[in-house]
């Protein structure tokens, strides 16, 4: 049976600032959490995608150009997500402190130490950390829901991208969605924003169609234009 889709939890940019300000960066765990949640929000990645990242999956250059992460998403599909300057600086600082000047390429980017080994963090542990910060942030900014999940950060980033004018098709690719309808139902947007998103999608389709029409010969038949084979 079909289930009713739950309403998306809307998290404003102001609420996100409160969330990050609630992280105690004087603590080692806080420094790790700041890097982890900054990267998760900035790239709109799934929690497992972030926790599965290894040093080799992140590209950081001195001139802050072409910085990105390579994410293995659902269906073992790999996608590239660019990193903004502020996020890059935080990740660079994190790597220096937690991995040293010569990090091992195969090491997990975010890890927990166990018997001298770097092991993968659990989703449950990170979710608990996020809830702690969300409750603190709620005391600073009422716009931050006190009980959120890691997936809410992904939806928040997608929504903020749309608010900033990013094309809905590009958001779909960044999120790794197969269907544009999934992306449209994914973000918390107003009717006006949905109209703008659909307009940008229509614009992309029109451009694609225009390229195809330029290739059409005057002598082409209707069947040929539709891509149908015709018998001689």
Q: Where are the domains of the chain?
A: 13-146, 165-212
The residue-averaged pLDDT of 187-197 equals: 60
CB-based contact 134:148 (threshold 8 Å): yes
Give the integer Cα–Cα distance in Å for 91 and 161.
21
**Lowest-confidence range among 127-131, 144-148, 204-208, 219-223?**
219-223
Q: Evaluate if residue 222 carries a pLDDT over 60.
A: no
Give how far the C-alpha of residue 220 lies from the chain's centroid of Cα atoms, to the nearest Å.
44
Q: Are strands 112-114 and 78-82 parallel, antiparallel or unpaired?
A: unpaired
Give the integer Cα–Cα distance in Å for 94 and 87.
11
Task: Categorize the per-residue pLDDT at 226 as very low, low, confident or very high, splitting at 50, 70 and 90.
Answer: very low
The residue-averaged pLDDT of 37-43 equals: 96
Sign of the alpha-carbon torsion through 54, 56, 62, 63: negative
The residue-averaged pLDDT of 136-145 equals: 96
Give the integer Cα–Cα distance in Å for 55 and 9.
32
**Lowest-confidence range among 104-113, 118-127, 186-195?**
186-195
Q: Using the structure block, give the residue that is written with the tokens 């169609």.
A: 209
The residue-averaged pLDDT of 196-208 equals: 61
Domain 13-146 has CATH 1.10.8.60: no
Q: Using the structure block, give the residue that is written with the tokens 């990090």.
A: 103
pLDDT at 213: 45
Return the number of other C-beta atoms located less than 10 Å from residue 139's C-beta.
11
Find which of 25-29, 114-118, 181-185 is predicted with most confidence, using mean pLDDT.
25-29
The residue-averaged pLDDT of 21-49 equals: 95
Q: Which residues are catalytic?
A: 46, 74, 151, 154, 177, 186
Q: Residue 72: beta bridge partners?
A: 78
The residue-averaged pLDDT of 13-29 equals: 95
For the chain, percent helix, then strand, then coil, each to nearest 5? Answer: 55, 10, 35
Average pLDDT score over the chain: 83
The residue-averaged pLDDT of 148-160 equals: 93
pLDDT at 16: 96
**What percent of the chain shows pLDDT beyond 70?**
76
**What percent of the chain shows pLDDT beyond 90?**
57
pLDDT at 145: 95
Q: Are strands 68-72 and 117-119 parallel, antiparallel or unpaired?
A: unpaired
Token couple for 106:
């195969």
The residue-averaged pLDDT of 51-63 equals: 90
The residue-averaged pLDDT of 87-112 equals: 95
Task: Categorize the per-residue pLDDT at 137 as very low, low, confident or very high, splitting at 50, 70 and 90.
Answer: very high
Q: Evaluate if residue 14 carries a pLDDT over 70.
A: yes
């Amino acid at each position: 049976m079909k289930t009713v889709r739950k309403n998306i939890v809307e998290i404003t940019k102001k609420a996100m600032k409160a969330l990050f300000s609630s992280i105690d960066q004087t603590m080692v765990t806080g420094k790790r959490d700041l890097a982890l949640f900054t990267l998760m929000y900035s790239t709109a990645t799934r929690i497992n995608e972030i926790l599965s990242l290894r040093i080799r999956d992140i590209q950081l250059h001195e001139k802050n150009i072409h910085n990105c992460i390579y994410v293995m998403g659902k269906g073992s599909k790999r996608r590239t997500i660019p990193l903004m300057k502020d996020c890059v600086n935080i990740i660079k600082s994190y790597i220096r402190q937690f991995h040293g000047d010569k990090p091992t390429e195969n090491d997990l980017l975010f890890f927990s130490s166990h018997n001298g080994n770097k092991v993968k963090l659990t989703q449950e542990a990170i979710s608990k950390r996020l809830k702690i910060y969300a409750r603190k942030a709620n005391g600073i900014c009422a716009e931050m829901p006190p009980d959120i999940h890691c997936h809410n950060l992904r939806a928040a980033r997608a929504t903020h991208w749309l608010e900033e004018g990013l094309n809905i098709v590009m958001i779909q690719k960044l999120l790794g969605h197969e269907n544009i309808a999934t992306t449209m139902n994914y973000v918390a947007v107003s009717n006006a924003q949905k109209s703008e998103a659909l307009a940008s999608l229509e614009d992309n389709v029109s451009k694609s169609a225009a390229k195809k029409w330029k290739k059409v010969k005057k002598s082409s038949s209707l069947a040929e234009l539709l891509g149908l084979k015709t018998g001689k």
